[in-house]
Amino acid sequence: MLLKPTLDDLNLIGHNLGRVMTVTAGAGLLPLVWAIAEHEPAPASAFLLMVAVYAILGGAGLHLRSQRKHLSWSHGMVVVALVWLLVPAVGAIPFWLSGHFAGYLDAFFDAMSGITTTGLTVANDLDHMATSMIFWRHLLHFLGGQGIIIAALSLFAGAGVAALYHSEGRDEHIFPSVGSTARFIWLVSVVNALLGVTVLAIIGTASLGFDVGRSIFHGITIFMAAFDTGGFSPQSTSMAYYHSALYEAATSILMVAGALSFGLHYALWRRQRHLHRNIEARTLLITFFGTLIITQIGLVTLGLYDTVGPLTRQSYFQVLSAHTGTGFATVPSSELALWGGLAFAGMAIAMALGGMASSTAGGVKALRIGLTAKAIVAQVKKVLLPEGTVISTRFWLNGPKDLSSDVVQGVMTATLLYVALYLVGAGAGLAVGLPLQEAVFESISAAANVGLSVGVTGPGMPTLLKVTYILQMWAGRLEFLAVFSLFGFLWATVRGR
């Protein structure tokens, strides 16, 4: 029997929501300042409105007081699930007022796509969009990828922060305290930002011939979309806009950095040994090259690329983008739709598997894939070896660990939930009349927070699909538990005792 939440529960949740909203209001000042600096008065007024709404929600939440000081796990889960709904709901206001979206639902779709680092878009006329508005789209990637909660944790020390941290789908403790871990994540991000933007801006100026200001603009936006494995682009033609292998190479490095867990970043910074034994790194390498080979065989079979050079460059970039969950493309969506057969299979599998746990990438995650494979091998051994043989399965993740049945159960549950989520979206696609391949591709892209499209996602997409993809992006990013907790909380509010 679920217990009905008390007023004290609601106050505790409201207070913590208020904290996060206040931090988000602070982040919202950045596009406001940008709009003022760029002489974009209409977007500036829209951003002022957005910041005001965030701040009102924040201020109202901070006024709520609870008898309890500690957030329980269930409170944390509910807060996080609500944060990931409220932030895009308010963040959609400037998009809605920009005139580039057919209505609020479309604006909300893009805001949800931004915060969940998906990158699917239903924007009209992106190429004439205000630079401050584009910056806000990409900043949503950054906030979502680095974790709004992480930002709040870095600023507000307090009891029960671990509940919030884990509710956002992060399992990693790089340092003993969650606050220190949060600050390390920001340190990694800032260092990568400085390096990434500088390198992209230099390439933009020296190689692509953009003026310095525009090179920096492209550098900032592309960095945020690549490192946070988001996929929004300042131009409608995505990475094909740049026509530069060098720019693609620099972006590839950022995409890989974004798909690595922050624990692995820490290990790399500390030049720790045993990196080659890390189960996630090994799994990611195997699945990346596996899906790359599958895709390449498919493309050769289709006869889309005649020679090795183009085949390698185009397949490498698209598969890397899919596997890291970024969603950049160097081919138009109409052409991606022609990647049938094995090329489709390679891309779909790459998207579905995703990057590392506790990274900015979505999908099932390399850790779960690796552990699932180990569990299957152990099961096969159990069948083949003499009865009564004790089989101990170990794996390496920041040290040697035993593969317990609890871990296997958790991994299998999450994997099954992802598969179910992919199927639900594909079913919705089929329901509105999409061909199977397109329905599956787009559904995986939304649920695994990738953002590649074969042309289905767009302003003219049926409302059913927009709503389905919004829910998929939200559930996929939060890895289900927080979402289920919110539904349970609402149920308890209505039917609990």
Partner 1 sequence: MMRRLLAAITLVLIAVAQPAAAAADDIDLADLLADPAAYADAQVALVGELIGDYGFRPDGTVWTQLNDDPYATAPLHAAGGTPSGGNVGVGIVGDRSMFHELDPPGRFDRVGPVVRAVGVWRYHDDARGGESYLELTDLEPIWPGYPIQQPLSRPVLIVAIGLAAIAVLLLAGAVRKQRHR
Judged by the rule CB under 8 A, the positions of this chain that interact with partner 1 are: 18, 22, 25, 39-43, 45-46, 48-49, 51-53, 55-56, 58-60, 62-63, 97-102, 121, 123-131, 133, 206-211, 214, 235-237, 240-241, 243, 245, 304-307, 309-311, 313-314, 330-332, 334-335, 458-460
Smallest separation, CB 18 to partner 1 (Å): 8
Instruction: Specify the residue, 81 or 201, whose C-beta has the smaller distance to partner 1.
Output: 201
Q: Given the DSSP bridges, would you call strands 394-396 and 400-402 parallel, antiparallel or unpaired?
A: antiparallel
Nearer to partner 1, 207 or 398 (CB): 207
Smallest gap from residue 100 Cβ to partner 1 (A):
6
Q: How far apart are CA 142 and CA 222, in angstroms?
A: 11
**Residue 189 or 453: which CB sits closer to partner 1?**
453
Quick check: helix, strand or coil at residue 118? coil
Distance CA 475, CA 118 (A): 12
Q: How far is the CB of 97 from partner 1 (least distance, A)?
A: 6
Segments in 228-329 forming alpha helices (H): 245-259, 262-269, 279-302, 308-323
- Residue number with CB closer to partner 1 (209 or 386): 209
What residues pair up with 431 in beta bridges, in sequence order? none
In the complex, minimum distance from the CB of residue 291 to partner 1, in angstroms, rounded to a whole number: 19
**Total residue length of the chain:** 497
> Which residue type, as a one-letter code, is found at position 188?
V
Tell me how far, at minimum, the Cβ of 85 lies from partner 1, in Å: 20
Q: Is 246 or 416 the residue whose CB approaches partner 1 more closely?
A: 246
Phi-psi group of 210: left, alpha or beta (phi > 0 → left; psi -120 to 50 → alpha; rest → beta): beta
- Which letter does DSSP use for residue 159 in this model? T
Tokens of 332: 């138009």
Give the nearest distance from C-beta 245 to partner 1 in angstroms: 6
**Residue with the two structure tokens 């409201």:** 14
Given a contact cutoff of 8 angstroms between Cβ atoms, the answer to whether 137 and 110 are in contact is yes
Q: Output 79 or 188, the one with its CB closest to partner 1.
A: 79
Measure CA 136 to chain center.
16
Nearest alpha carbon to residue 444 among 480, 420, 413, 464: 420
The residue among 91, 86, 186 whose CA lies nearest residue 146 is: 186
Nearer to partner 1 among residue 6 and residue 334 (C-beta): 334
* Residue 52: CB minimum distance to partner 1, A: 4
